[in-house]
Amino acid sequence: MGNRLTGPDTIDYYYYNRGNQLTMDRKHQYHYDNNGNLINRVEVDGGKARIRTYSYDYEDRLIQVIKQEENEVLTVSSGYDPFGQRIWKWMHYNKPVLMLFFISHNNHKWCI
């Protein structure tokens, strides 16, 4: 079984690169870095562009997502401990909105 090339609707389509990564569908274009991480997703709907940009650290962990839609920008950033567990998340929507800290102990996680 391979990748989906058409969808349930006759106007749905999907394109892949040599690395077997989705590069385009009916609504989106996708771009990847040399490590195979999704770094950009562009959606064009009715002439309006919605852009999501993804950033990763040196261990390929997602550290930031920027969502742009017209004049609005939402930024979500994350930080990790030395064991690779996410320990904080920060949301910025045209001004700082929310900062979450995560605590993990004996396979239990808490958000404060």
Looking at per-residue pLDDT, the higher value among 2 and 17 belongs to 17
For the chain, the distance separating the N- and C-terminal CA atoms, rounded to the nearest angstrom, is 44
**Chain centre to alpha carbon of residue 14:** 19
* Tens-place pLDDT, residues 16-43: 999 999 999 989 999 999 999 999 999 9
**Per-residue pLDDT at 87:** 83
Sheet architecture: strand order including 38-45: 14-16, 22-25, 28-32, 38-45, 48-56, 62-69, 72-80, 86-93, 96-105, 108-111
pTM to 2 decimal places: 0.78
